[in-house]
Amino acid sequence: MYNEIIKVMKKLTVLKAFMVVLVAFAALSLTSCNNDSYEPVPVKLGDVNGNYKAKLFIQQGSKGIVVEKIINFSAKDTIVDFKDFPIREIVKSVVKDPVKTDTALAKIGKVEYKLNYTSKINTEQNIVELTFAPKKLQIQIPVDGVTKNAVVTVVAKQKGFFVGQDWSLRFGLVAEKIIVDGVELAPFETIKYDFPYSIKN
pLDDT at position 36 = 53
Residues 132, 116: contact at Cβ < 8 Å?
A: yes
Helix (H) or strand (E) segment spanning residue 33 = helix 2-36
Reply yes or no: is the peptide bond before residue 40 cis, omega within 30 of 0: no
Classify the phi-psi angles of 189: left when phi > 0, otherwise alpha if psi is within -120 to 50, otherwise beta.
beta
**CB neighbour class for 151 (10 Å; exposed up to 12, middle 13-18, buried from 19):** middle
Tens of pLDDT, residue by residue over 107-166, are 999 999 999 999 999 999 999 999 999 999 999 999 999 999 999 999 999 999 999 999
The residue among 88, 99, 104 whose CA lies nearest residue 146 is: 104
Confidence band, pLDDT 50/70/90 cuts, at residue 15: very low
Q: Considering the chain, what percentage of its residues have pLDDT values greater than 90?
A: 79
Q: How many CA atoms lie within 13 A of 93 on its CB side?
A: 26
Residues 6+ apart with CB under 8 A from 36: none
Confidence band, pLDDT 50/70/90 cuts, at residue 34: very low
